[in-house]
Structure 1
Amino acid sequence: MKPALEASATLSEAWRTEVGLYALLYRAVDKALADTQLPLRAAKGSLEGEALRSHRVMPTQTLRGALDALQDAHEPGEGLTVLSLLDSPFDQVVFPGTALLTLGRAAGDHALLSLSGEIPPQEAGVLLERIGYYLERPILLA
């Protein structure tokens, strides 16, 4: 987690725009889905009260493109909903029947990355490992 946080701060300074950890997380999930060839697309998630909203994000090839696409994502979408809980009181949330990847609150340099939904356990393990790989090596997300 520490490399992703450092990359977020460095990119924010270099690009003179806020590059939050969520953009890195989303890009890591998008790349990991492509690497593992799971038949899902990443979708931007947000909590609105007790409801989970999922928004379609236009495909991109770069982190900068993902940052812009995430800002423009407002249409309802389906797929693996990516949700950051870093600024919430929750460590994890589960919405039955929804493919959901959450990044829980950070404790020091660590945060809980969890996956829920109908993804076979072996594939889920490989996907989580690949996402973690990218978050530890954020230069690969560019």
Structure 2
Amino acid sequence: MARAYSDDLRRKVLSSYGSGKGTMRELAQRFDVSYGWVLKIAAAQRQSGSYKRVPQRRAASRIDTGLIRRLVEAQPDIVLVELRQRAAEQGVQASTVHLWRILAKLGLRLKKSHSMPLSATPKRTSTGAKSTSRPSARSRPKT
């Protein structure tokens, strides 16, 4: 994601425009920013009276993170779909993606189970071609 331009750059562009050192298009070229951005910050300054950026607002999550933590602690091997169902039973509706973000914020992570059997699917080669080499005598299972 692109970072916002600094308040210092906003101030320089707007003060240059205010002192008549060029048109908005010329200043956009001089400061290597888009003409649309210069229009946007000029309109924001007219509206608010300040050159500073408006802080970005993100809605706070309405999901009780304590409930999610308790559900995971009660069943550490729970998968996201089950976690979503258990949360829904408690009256909390959330997508699996949102639950994933909450788990990451809580410092909890889902781990692979080491008790599962190995996958029967052979590993692919980098080109996708089948391997033509035969396994060595040491790598063959003993019968």
User: TM-score w.r.t. structure 2 length?
Assistant: 0.20
- Bigger relative CO (Cα 8 Å, ≥ 6 apart): 1
User: TM-score w.r.t. structure 1 length?
Assistant: 0.20
Structure of larger gyration radius = 2
